[in-house]
A and B are shown apart, each in its own frame.
Chain A
């Protein structure tokens, strides 16, 4: 059924008639219940608590069930947004979850970490009426959580097995989304993961307080239940080669190996002890659980911790530092708060937790003590100049204005580059000067016909949902290519 047929169903009509559009838009947007800042900033419990049934129903009523739902255009995986929201309004939460799963492999994850305010919610009709958008993300999380907590987890419809073997390189959001889509189409999918844990950035990157690992594990178990096989500790290109896979009968390969390589700024003192990448810091704390007493992996716990950068990873790092006991946890960002790429919600949460924001500041040097541990950073004061290519006003140094700040730990979160491990090991791939794998924009097919790619290995550093969108696109295209 297409959208207008779905929308014409009796139950949808009845719901629309039950409440006038004016009444719907008069309902204020729900506020996400969350843990109190002074409590949550000392533990790793999830900050957002999720909506109650009453809250979700009320919020679902706000959706006008538009004839032309522009929200759907904003979703990289094309979730049938009005349909699942109306199913919530009707009280049919399990069906709502099923609707989500028809197009998204990881709804409980997306409901937590997608930047909805820049995607679906940014296109909501309410915004045109100067009202707040329907909280699509909260509702997505509600439906996915409801289903999981009910114990009645439904599996998507699976086509009969066609026996064709497909390999996936990397078990992050791109790979998982691709694997789910291919399994639904009847393929025999095996996912190869380099680390000991399945989940990629969802496990090593995003902290527990924003996305609990147990949530990720359940989504992975759902994929297992539809036949996806996972092999950890295996690096395609190193442990096994593409030729090995071909010999083993694999007919298609999807590379979603992510943007592993952290960038540094190449400034004086950056290799001092206590200066590290956000990837290292978050991997220690998230993947290795280094903050727990029984974990063998150590992590430095600074008292004065500076995080360099203004993205979501920077927010995750600074809030982690606070939770690990930092007295001063600071964001150092070279532009102003307005240009920060982090989600507004993350910035808000960080501020509530007592994070300091030192904007229009850029580190230019670090100093250390005799044992090499960082003790101070020199910050250059910046002003905003002309807009650059990204449209953001570019920061320029204010001559002569610098300041030394005491720090004993610095987390550098200024972006990542594609992980070279896989592209370097596969012959024939076209790789851009940024190290990304070059693919056809629509099909995600690489210069080697049997290899498709998506996520950060193609984009260089984007979001979970864009990676998932790539996986979905690649699955459709690979399926067509294999059927030709």
Chain B
């Protein structure tokens, strides 16, 4: 169990793993996440499941190297085993036919968006996917997204690929063009905040998938709590998806920063090796 079947670099710091996890592969639905731990002294970290193959008994995880724990995970190779892997956790995405859906994702938020795009398309929706990143090299999964989307709009901050601009610029362009019935957004908290502000102005119902700090991931610790509509919710058991217009993103951003100093101290002790071979 938990054996890494394949490893692929999407970019210098973003890795795709296919991991043997037959039970999770069978049970998971779009929107679910897992908790992983690397090494006996490792930390438990949540990762949204990007894809699964129940026949093969594998799940796909896309990991961005941001701290010690994700770096240790990214350092694993084909054939290695992830010490601990548990899931599927959280509530699955509510999939139904609504009409036209914009799926707006940025960075590694693209990976967990893929199964949602596929499921929304399968439910008969017209799906427009907005892929955003700082620069061309960081745009991932474009081909797979095109496979399941009616249209893919690529946005880069530096204009090196697709349109120049932020994810919100892409959404605005789509809003001007046609009626949008639902927006789903996954990415860095600050990105989701601005997507939410934009769609709120235009009265477009919006779902955001939140990635907060967790310890157990099963409702036990409350580290992941967020304010949604003035009420405290646990991302691990009440989420990870919420009505974006009700989420207090400022509070979420503040809480995400809670361990930043400790994380930076830890990084000083753990050398991060970026993958530099060839092109991506």
Task: Give me the interface of A with B, judged by CB distance under 8 Å.
Answer: 194-196, 204, 232-235, 238-241, 260-262, 264, 266, 270-274, 276-277, 279-280, 283-284, 288-289, 292, 294-298, 300, 371-373, 419-421
Closest to A422 in B: B218
How distant is the Cα of A421 from the Cα of B234 in the complex, in angstroms? 12
Other than the given A296-B68, A298-B266, 7 more pairs (CB < 8 A) read A238-B88, A239-B24, A262-B220, A273-B254, A280-B223, A294-B41, A297-B44
21 contacts between A and B (CB under 8 A): A195-B86, A195-B218, A233-B85, A235-B218, A238-B88, A238-B89, A239-B87, A260-B218, A261-B219, A261-B222, A264-B222, A264-B232, A274-B258, A279-B222, A283-B215, A288-B215, A296-B43, A298-B259, A373-B258, A419-B220, A421-B218
Residues of chain B having any CB pair with chain A under 8 Å: 23-24, 27, 37, 39, 41-44, 68-69, 72, 83-89, 215-216, 218-223, 225-227, 232, 234, 237, 251, 254-255, 257-259, 262-263, 266
B residues in contact with A238, CB < 8 Å: 27, 87-89
CA distance A315 to B78 in the complex (A): 46
- Contact in complex: A271, B88 (CB < 8 Å): no
Q: Are A240 and B23 in contact (CB under 8 A)?
A: yes
Shortest 4 CB-CB distances between A and B: which pairs?
A: A372-B254, A280-B221, A273-B258, A298-B262
Task: Indicate if the CB atoms of B86 and A234 lie closer than 8 Å.
Answer: yes
- Of A204, A277, A297, which one neighbours B222 at CB under 8 angstroms? A277
Q: Is the interface of B mostly helix, strand, loop or mixed?
A: mixed
Inter-chain contacts of A264 with B (CB < 8 A): 222, 225, 232
* A271 partner, pick from B41, B86, B225, beta carbons under 8 A: B225
Contact A297 B43 (CB under 8 A): yes
Q: Which residue, B68, B218, B237, B266, has most C-beta atoms of chain A within 10 A?
A: B218
A266 adjacent to B232 (CB under 8 Å): yes
Closest to A239 in B: B23
B266 pairs with A271, CB closer than 8 A? no
- Chain B residues near A194: list those with CB within 8 A: 86, 216, 218
**Measured CA separation A131–B24 after assembly (Å):** 59
CB distance from B253 to the nearest CB of A (A): 9
User: CA of A270 to CA of B43 in the docked complex: distance in angstroms?
Assistant: 25
Contact residues of A: prevailing secondary structure: loop
- Chain B residue numbers with a CB within 8 Å of A420 are 219, 237
Contact A296 B69 (CB under 8 A): yes
Question: By the criterion CB–CB under 8 Å, are B219 and A196 in contact?
Answer: no
**Shortest Cβ distance from residue A279 to the other chain B in the assembled complex, whole angstroms:** 5
A288 touches B44 (CB 8 A): yes
Partner of A372, one of B72, B215, B219, B255: B255
When distances are taken between beta carbons in the complex, the residues of chain A under 8 Å from B87 are 235, 238-239
Measured between C-beta atoms, what is the minimum distance from B135 to chain A in Å? 29
**Contact, CB under 8 Å: A195 / B216:** yes
Contact A261 B258 (CB under 8 A): no
- CA A38 to CA B108, docked complex, whole Å: 49
Q: Establish whether residues B255 and A232, one from each chain, have CB atoms under 8 Å apart when the complex forms.
A: no
Which chain B residue shows the least CB distance to A260? B220
Q: Which of A239, A276, A372 has the most CB of B within 10 A?
A: A239
What B residues does A274 contact at CB under 8 A? 258
Smallest distance from the beta carbon of A367 to chain B beta carbons, Å?
Answer: 14
Which of B42, B215, B254, B266 sits near A284, CB closer than 8 Å? Answer: B215
Across the two chains, which residue of chain B brings its CB closest to A277?
Answer: B222
- Neighbouring B residues of A270 by C-beta, 8 Å: 232
Residues of B close to A296: CB separation below 8 A: 39, 41-43, 68-69, 72, 266
Residues in chain B near residue A273, CB distance under 8 A: 254-255, 257-258
Contact B220–A233 (Cβ < 8 Å): no
Most B CB within 10 A of own CB, among A292, A296, A373: A296
Q: Which residues of B contact A240 (CB under 8 A)?
A: 23, 27
- For A239, the chain B residues whose CB sits under 8 A away are 23-24, 27, 86-88
Please tell me which one of the listed residues B41, B83, B221 contacts residue A295 in the complex, with CB atoms under 8 A apart.
B41
* Minimum CB distance partner of A368 in chain B: B254
A271, B220: Cβ atoms under 8 Å? Answer: no
**In the assembly, what is the distance between CA of A289 and CA of B266, in Å?**
15
Which residues of B lie under 8 Å from residue A262 when comparing CB positions?
220-222
